[in-house]
Amino acid sequence: MTIYEMEGGRRLEGELSAQGAKNAALPLLSAALLSREVSVLEHCPDIDDVNVQAQILETLGCRVTREGERLTIDAAGAEGFEVPRALMGRMRSSVMVLGALLGRHGRGVIHSPGGCAIGARPIDFHLKAFSDMGVRIDWQQDELTATLDAARDSDVALPFPSVGATENVLLLAAAIPCVTVLRGAAREPEIVDLAHMLCEMGAAVEGAGGDVITVRGTKELHGVQHRALSDRIAAATDLCAAAITGGSLTLCDVNTRHMGSALELLRHAGCAVLSTQDTVWLSAPKRLSGFGVVRTMPYPGFPTDLQAPFLALAAAAQSGSVFIESMFENRFHHVEQLRKMGADIEVQNRVALVRGTNLTGARVQTADLRGGAALMLAGLAAQGVTTVCDAGHIARGYERLAQRWNSLGAAIRVSTGEDLPT
């Protein structure tokens, strides 16, 4: 198990470049499966979830090689259509392979997807959309077989702007010689990035970024070279590290248009934040003010993936904040751990009332990816030493987080746990 031991109270300052977006790279890897040619994906972060998705492609017959942040996918031999149960369970985005398998082979076999324990995370929206496209769905215990006998023009409506369901529909629609209209689509930048790649491969995708997307697909999708977006969630988490320590950060290679709500909140808490299209400069006050009321929403609202990191900032602030988690029903696991550090937080259902206070180092346990980042942030500000028992969650989505923050002045020691006092 990975353990991060960190000494708090150190001001972070310096310059970083944003990592590639986990939640863009994952569907882009699935899209590479749609062509029998070679695709090259740049700016793919070297993180566990992306590497597991690459393993899934390999079990399906792709040859995937990594050189730094470049992944080369040769999908010529990808004749497999069943994702192994063990790999399915490793993360949520394994379900996104189903749309690509249907697009490539007209069939796919998956098992219940894994992912952060932040709620039930059903896949009913995905399956309803596929059945509206003519896909037959058969469940046998936890094994799901999807079959597309005859592709047809479809008009599909999502009951909620689900990111994954939107991406799954686009992956199938791009690979069938039909017109698919998707209404109620999610509008996240990662979906626009996927649409760009599908267009580069030969599909016609219009309206991505809005709530109605029209796709004219084709059986003849070709290999491409595509650069993944920068990770807006990891970038905002880096800014939080400077903000919670009264520090300053220059963050390069970001797409600031995708970070509006996070930058606005950091300004509200007292940070000076300047930005151009691809760079953010942040300078934090000695102590942050509270955020007022923060409600997580589908894009372009405040992202649910930043709820935990910003809640950690609120816990160390000099005034109060209220967080309303409207996207997932169980995404406050980090609160109990922050309380071990002295945080004053009350949770009622999807609402967390946070009174800012001084935090003290403690031994804490992560339960999910973004909650783990929140505990690391709290450890940066806490008085004394914090030990974050990670169980690998943080490495799923953040590329060399300890190394990045140590380059800014943090004192984080990474170990496997055997050599640390219990």
Residues that bind ligand EPZ (CB under 6 A): 22-23, 26, 92-93, 116, 119, 121-126, 160, 162-165, 186, 304-305, 327-328, 369-370, 397
CB 418 → ligand EPZ: shortest distance, Å? 29
Among 327, 378, 412, 299, residue whose Cα is nearest residue 116: 327
Give the sign of the dihedral formed by CA 29, CA 32, CA 259, CA 347: negative
Q: Are 93 and 29 in contact (CB under 8 A)?
A: no
- Based on CB atoms, which residue is closest to ligand EPZ, 227 or 370? 370
CB 211 → ligand EPZ: shortest distance, Å? 13
Q: Pairing mode, if any, of strands 212-216 and 179-183?
A: antiparallel
- Based on CB atoms, which residue is closest to ligand EPZ, 125 or 323? 125
- Based on CB atoms, which residue is closest to ligand EPZ, 163 or 338? 163
**Annotated catalytic residue: which of 116, 178, 240, 389?**
116
Question: Does residue 116 carry a catalytic annotation?
Answer: yes
CB 130 → ligand EPZ: shortest distance, Å? 11
In the numeric block, which tokens belong to residue 226?
A: 């595509």
CB 243 → ligand EPZ: shortest distance, Å? 20
- Based on CB atoms, which residue is closest to ligand EPZ, 10 or 404? 404
In the numeric block, which tokens belong to residue 171?
A: 């992956």
Residue-wise over 219-254: b if at least 16 C-beta within 10 A, else e?
Answer: eebebbebbbbbbbbbbbbbbbbbbbbbbbbbbeeb
CB 27 → ligand EPZ: shortest distance, Å? 7
Between CA 180 and CA 192 the distance in angstroms is 16
Between CA 191 and CA 201 the distance in angstroms is 15
Q: Are 371 and 337 in contact (CB under 8 A)?
A: yes
Intra-chain end-to-end CA distance of the chain, in Å: 13
- Based on CB atoms, which residue is closest to ligand EPZ, 26 or 98? 26
Radius of gyration (Cα) for the chain, nearest Å?
A: 21
- Based on CB atoms, which residue is closest to ligand EPZ, 123 or 271? 123
- Based on CB atoms, which residue is closest to ligand EPZ, 122 or 210? 122
- Based on CB atoms, which residue is closest to ligand EPZ, 192 or 284? 192
Among 276, 323, 304, residue whose Cα is nearest residue 23: 304
| Adjacent-strand bridge partners of 179 | 216
Between CA 365 and CA 376 the distance in angstroms is 10
CB 156 → ligand EPZ: shortest distance, Å? 13
CB 307 → ligand EPZ: shortest distance, Å? 9
- Give the sheet arrangement for strand 344-348, strand by strand: 292-295, 321-324, 351-355, 344-348
Between CA 102 and CA 145 the distance in angstroms is 10
CB 342 → ligand EPZ: shortest distance, Å? 26
**Residue with the shortest CB distance to ligand EPZ:** 164
In the block, tokens 């751990």 appear at: 337
In the numeric block, which tokens belong to residue 127?
A: 């399956």
> Does the bond joining 298 to the residue before it have cis omega, within 30 degrees of 0?
no
Report which DSSP code applies to 246.
T
- Known catalytic residues are 116
